[in-house]
Structures are given as C-alpha cells and as structure tokens.
C-alpha cells in the first residue's frame, strides 16, 4: 500500500507540473502534438519548462533531486534554460526550518547549542536533497575559535528513500523478467548498489569518515584541498568540518578575474579524478559543481576544494588494473587489446569473435579521437558502446555504475572550464605512468613492503609448517602408492586369470584338432 501511494504521488506530481507535456512536446509528429493539446486541457502550465521540471524533482524527493543534479552538468545534452534551472538543485533546494536544525544538533550532540559554538548562523548557507549547511564558530576544545561548516541531516528522509528504492526494485524485477536485455543489464544489482550508497549518505558519520580518508589521500599533493573533520562534534545526524573559502567552480568568469589558469584547472581536474580512481581506488562520486570550489587565496590559488562526501566509490585491485589497461588501450587505439580484455575478464561470452568485437569498438571510438571536448561527448560514446554491448551480450558491472556517473560529471565540468581540452592526451601520460609503477620495480617493492609484516609473522612458523606439509604429503603419497599397488596387483591377478583361461581354451582347441587328425589317419589305415 505504501508503494502504491508513493506511485500515485509520483504520477500526480508529473501531471501537476506537466512533465508529460514537457516530454511529448519534443516530438514533431502531428498526432503527438494533437495529443499534447488534448492532455493539457484544464491544466495551467504557464511556468517556464525548466522551472516546472526543477520544482517537480524537488517535490518528489532526494533520489529525483540527485537525478536532476546529474542532468544539470550535461549542458551538451540539455537545453540551456533547463540546465540553468536544474543547476539550482545543487545547493538551492528549499531549506527546512532552522529551529528544527538546532533541535537535531542539540539532541545528537547532547549539549545546548551555546556550549558548542561561539556563534551559529541560523540561516543555512546551502541546502541540498539530504542535508543543509550552517556556518558557525567552535567553542572549546582544540578547535576553539575555528570557523566551521555544520551539516545537518534533513528529518524524515529515510521513509521517502526506502519507498522510492522499493519502487525501483520492483521496476528492476519487472525489467529483468520481461525485457530481453534484463539479465545482461543486471538492474536489480544496480539498484542494490544505489541503495547502499544512498543509505550511507543518510549516516553523516560515514560521510565524515569518507572526508577524513580523502583528506589523508591528498595530504602530500598540491592538487586537492579537503576540509578537516572535528570528530568531537560529529554524529549520525550532524557533521562538523572546517569551513572552506573558495569560488564555486561553475562561476568561470569570477575565477578568470581572480587569475586562475582555466586550462591548468581543467587538466588538474582530470588528474585528480584518475588519481582517486587508479592510485587510491577511492573516489568522490558526487562531483557536480555545487560540491566543488576553487581557492582564490594567494597561497593556494587555483586549487580544487572538495565538499560533500556522502557518496564515494571504491574499486578492487582487479577493477583498477582492468580499467587502467582498458583506458590505455583506448588511448593507444589498440582496439584488439580492448576486445581481448573484455573476453579475458568474462564480461563477454567466451565464444565471442575477438575480431568482430574489435571492429565494433573501433567504430564507436575512432570518430572522437584528436578532438577537443567541445566536439565530443562521452555521453554519446557511452550510448554507442551500450548499443555495442547489447549486440555482444556484454554484462553490466554494477560496481562501476558510480564510476560511469562520475566520469560524465567530470566531462561536464571540463567542458565548462576549457572546451578545448584534449581529454585523451591529458589522461594518457598519467595512466601510462601509473601502469609502469604498478608492474615495474617500484610497484613490486611497494607490494613487498605491504606484505612484509605478514611474512615476518609467518617466517618463524615456516619450518614447522613445511615439516607438517611434507609429513602429510608423505602419508598421502604412501597411501596413494599403496592404493595404486593394490590396484595393480588386482589387475595383474585378473589378467593372469584371463591368460590362463585363454591358454586352456587354446590348448583344448589344439588337442581337439590333434585328436581329429589321428582319427582321420586311423580311418585311412
């Protein structure tokens, strides 16, 4: 019943804001245009289409807001008026009552607000689908006097998200059961991955831990600034971090006026992404413009500042190596290697003809090389690759869905910062260097250092373990030899019986012949 009521609300919102008209009006068919006029009778749809879409997504809740955030970064796919409106979903979702925010803070941290902060700005500086942020100044402890950002979880988010995820699971089940590509696309596994990340986002302690990990990963580089976490002021509903000063990355004119090198900024954005994915296997997976600032302070001019760590992705060593080899093969236009990697990984059936897959991948990617971002679209490349994957029964990898989403966000950002950026040439040197470090002496030495403590622990036990292994092997070998000898003896006895029987039969046959001959000679005599 809960799912049914939620579905009814979704349909009501779609009709109320005229999203059906918005979709159908894009068709040129006269019949469809006539249908649009019929279905809009009696409905007042005088607001601009972008505003209608934004308000509808906001009213439907966090999952729909996140969908709008992703669309807002794709100005190559969205009309400008719609993209501008959807960009407001990044940090301008209507806030909830600050009085409620204060009550959540005091309940979660177990102390009155006045004992926690010297000052607290009740007007939120940013409000998104899951939480809103207030600026404050810490009181007491090691962080006394520090400017901080206080993130407070929206109340009542869990029931809405659970209801939407239940609908998505039902839809995924139907797709898998009735759609020809259902099993190959693994919709239920994709929804399960989405479920995990959304529920992680509802626990701000997990977000704080993600922030701390990302800060540690980039401590020794000049690529990315990540806020410090104040753990004494964190809970599942409240996350207090260092306040970061910068200009939103979407304000390109302000960045240029501050003296930021936009081409360098775009290149470093690509490097940050690949560093997170391939060096660390841990990446920020919600990189829309509302979550990224750029420092304009003299000492850190042009450095990225990351915010909002609710959704992060993680990759296994196998996934990292496989993806790196695929990217390098793409950049080198070695499509045969790409096809082989897909077969070796088991992503396509083992009986796939490598030459056919190679030709299909070449047709997808070759037209886009040696072109700046303004002339290509990874969205279109992925669409063509999707069509190819359908032809060759490529299995979708749910663990890489977040990575694909993030890659599209990165491309959208790069397109805004420097449309002339050559994404391939920028990424290729980094990946080749990373692969060299992984398979060369440096990578072997680093892996040896990681494994050394475990080997040091096992080394004193090695003689005893080796003795036990050899002793068991000897017993096994002896038992095997005894069984083998018994089998040979039994086989020899059977063979002897067969030979004896054969000799008796042969002897009897010869004796019969001799007797017959003697009787014949007696008759002649």
Burial code (b: 16+ CB inside 10 Å, e: under 16) for 297-322 equals eeeeebbbbbbbbbbbbebeeebbeb
Q: What is the dihedral of CA 502, 505, 510, 515, to 10 degrees?
A: 170
Distance (Å, whole) CA 262 – CA 271: 14
Contacts 24+ apart (CB under 8 A), 130-135: 130/62, 130/154, 130/157, 130/201, 130/202, 130/310, 131/204, 131/239, 132/95, 132/96, 132/101, 134/98, 134/101, 135/243
- SS3 of 266-291: the string is HHHHHHHHHHHHHHHCEEECCCCHHH
Distance (Å, whole) CA 290 – CA 131: 13
Q: Which of 272, 280, 313, 271 is nearest to 400 (CA)?
A: 313
Structure tokens at 83: 């993209």
Distance (Å, whole) CA 408 – CA 288: 10
Distance (Å, whole) CA 286 – CA 246: 18
Structure tokens at 475: 């017993």
Whether 286 is a known active-site residue: answer yes
Distance (Å, whole) CA 146 – CA 256: 30
Q: Which of 80, 17, 79, 9 is nearest to 54 (CA)?
A: 17
Q: How far from the centroid of its chain's Cα atoms is residue 180's Cα?
A: 24
Q: Under DSSP, is residue 414 helix (H, G, I), strand (E, B) or coil?
A: helix
> Do the Cβ atoms of 150 and 157 come closer than 8 Å?
no
Distance (Å, whole) CA 300 – CA 222: 9
What Rg, from alpha-carbon coordinates, does the chain have? Answer: 34
Q: How far from the centroid of its chain's Cα atoms is residue 293's Cα?
A: 23
Catalytic residue, candidates 91, 164, 286, 418: 286
Which residues are part of the catalytic machinery?
Answer: 286
């Amino acid at each position: 019943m809960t799912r049914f009521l939620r579905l009814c609300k979704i349909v009501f919102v779609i009709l109320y804001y005229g999203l059906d008209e918005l979709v159908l009006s894009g068709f040129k068919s006269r019949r469809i245009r006539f249908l649009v006029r019929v279905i809009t009778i009696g409905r007042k749809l005088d607001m601009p289409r972008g505003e209608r879409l934004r308000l509808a997504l906001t009213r439907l809740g966090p999952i729909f807001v996140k969908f709008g955030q992703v669309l807002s970064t794709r100005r190559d796919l969205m009309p400008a008026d719609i993209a501008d409106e959807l960009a407001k979903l990044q940090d301008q979702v209507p806030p909830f009552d600050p009085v409620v925010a204060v009550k959540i803070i005091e309940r979660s941290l177990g102390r009155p607000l006045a004992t926690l902060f010297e000052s607290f700005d009740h007007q939120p500086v940013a409000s998104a689908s899951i939480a809103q942020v207030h600026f404050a100044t810490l009181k007491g402890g090691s962080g006394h006097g520090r400017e901080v950002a206080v993130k407070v979880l929206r109340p009542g988010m869990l029931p809405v998200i659970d209801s939407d995820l239940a609908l998505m699971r039902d839809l995924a089940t139907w797709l898998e059961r009735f759609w020809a590509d259902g099993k190959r696309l693994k919709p239920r596994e994709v929804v399960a991955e989405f479920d995990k990340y959304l529920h992680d986002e509802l626990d701000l302690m997990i977000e704080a831990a993600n922030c701390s990990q990302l800060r540690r990963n980039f401590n020794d580089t000049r690529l990315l600034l990540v806020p410090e976490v104040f753990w004494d002021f964190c809970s599942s509903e409240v996350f207090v971090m260092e306040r970061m000063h910068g200009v939103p990355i979407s304000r390109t004119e302000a960045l240029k006026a501050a003296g930021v090198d936009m081409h360098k900024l775009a290149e470093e954005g690509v490097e940050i992404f690949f560093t997170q994915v391939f060096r660390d296997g841990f990446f920020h997976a919600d990189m829309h413009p509302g979550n990224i600032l750029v420092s304009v302070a003299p000492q850190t001019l042009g450095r990225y500042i990351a915010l909002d760590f609710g959704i992060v992705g993680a990759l296994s060593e196998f996934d990292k190596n496989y993806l790196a080899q695929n990217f390098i093969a793409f950049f080198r236009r070695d499509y045969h290697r790409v096809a082989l990697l897909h077969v070796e990984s088991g992503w396509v059936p083992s009986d796939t003809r490598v030459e056919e897959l190679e030709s299909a991948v070449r047709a997808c990617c070759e037209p886009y090389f040696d072109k700046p971002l303004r002339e290509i679209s990874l969205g279109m490349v992925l669409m063509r690759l999707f069509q190819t994957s359908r032809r060759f029964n490529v299995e979708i990898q749910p663990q890489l869905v977040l990575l694909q989403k993030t890659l599209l966000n990165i491309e959208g950002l790069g397109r805004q910062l420097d449309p002339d950026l050559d994404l391939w040439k920028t990424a290729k040197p980094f990946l080749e260097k990373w692969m060299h470090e992984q398979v060369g002496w440096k990578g072997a030495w680093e892996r040896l250092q990681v494994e050394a403590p475990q080997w040091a622990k096992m080394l004193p036990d090695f003689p005893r373990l080796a003795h036990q292994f050899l002793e068991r092997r000897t017993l096994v070998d002896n038992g095997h030899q005894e069984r083998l000898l018994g089998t040979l003896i039994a086989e020899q006895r059977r063979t002897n019986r067969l030979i004896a029987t054969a000799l008796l039969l042969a002897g009897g046959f010869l004796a019969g012949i001799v007797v017959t001959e003697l009787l014949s000679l007696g008759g002649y005599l």
